[in-house]
Each structure stands twice: as C-alpha cells, then as structure tokens.
Structure 1
Amino acid sequence: MNTFLDYLAVAVVFTLVALPSLIGHLKERAVDRQLARAEAGLPALDDPLSPPEVARRAPLATGRALTR
C-alpha cells in the first residue's frame, strides 16, 4: 500500500507541474488555427458577427454533360 501511495504522490506532483504547460500548448494551437484561418481568408470561428460559411461542393456532372 505504501508503494501505491508513493506512485500516486509522484503522479499528482507530475500532473501539477505539467498541467500549466499542457494548457499553454493547447492555447497556442488555438491561436495557430486562428492565424491559419485568417491567412486563408476565412472568418474566425468564434466571431459572432461573421457570416456563416457556405459549403463548397464539387459539381455533380462534368462540363461535357452540362452542355448537352
């Protein structure tokens, strides 16, 4: 039982030390995604004033079929 508590204590300390770093990493990834969307000319996902995106679909038929 003593060994289990020792491992548990190490896991808790490791979590407390690593958690701020992991949270910061997730925030940085969110910023990177926002920058990538801005470079692509797409509106921000969290901007309530931006118009909704329209899904772009490929045409169902080729150009030859449309001319008939």
Structure 2
Amino acid sequence: MSTIRISIDSDLCVGSGQCAMTAPSVFTQDDDGYGAVLPGREDGGGDPLAREAARACPVQAIAVEED
C-alpha cells in the first residue's frame, strides 16, 4: 500500500480557501488566511477529499506525493 504526503507551497498559495472548504479534516487557513495542512495530517488523514482539495486549488499550490 502506498503512502501519501501532502504539502502546500506557501509561495504559490493565494488564500482562496478551497482546500479548507473541500477537506476541513486535513486543511485549515493560517492567521493570514493562507492554506495550511493541519498538524499530523500530512498523510491526508485517510480523507479521500485531500486529493480533491489539491485538484480544487486554483493555483495548484497543493502537492500530493506518493511513495
């Protein structure tokens, strides 16, 4: 079984909030309104919406890497 790792490129993120709206168990918005992966959820937390959130990002700032 493969594992995934999710990250957000803070240089690309524009703070649209699509990630937090799509997969709130994996993503949040920081104090400045930019997307962030919740602590301990870098593996997606088993949430199938994590990949959907990456696809929904308007600037494609979310990376989903598989091992």
Structure whose alpha-carbon radius of gyration is higher: 1
Tell me the TM-score normalized by structure 1. 0.22
Q: Greater share of strand residues, 1 or 2?
A: 2
Bigger RCO (CA 8 Å, 6+ sep): 2
Q: Greater share of helix residues, 1 or 2?
A: 1
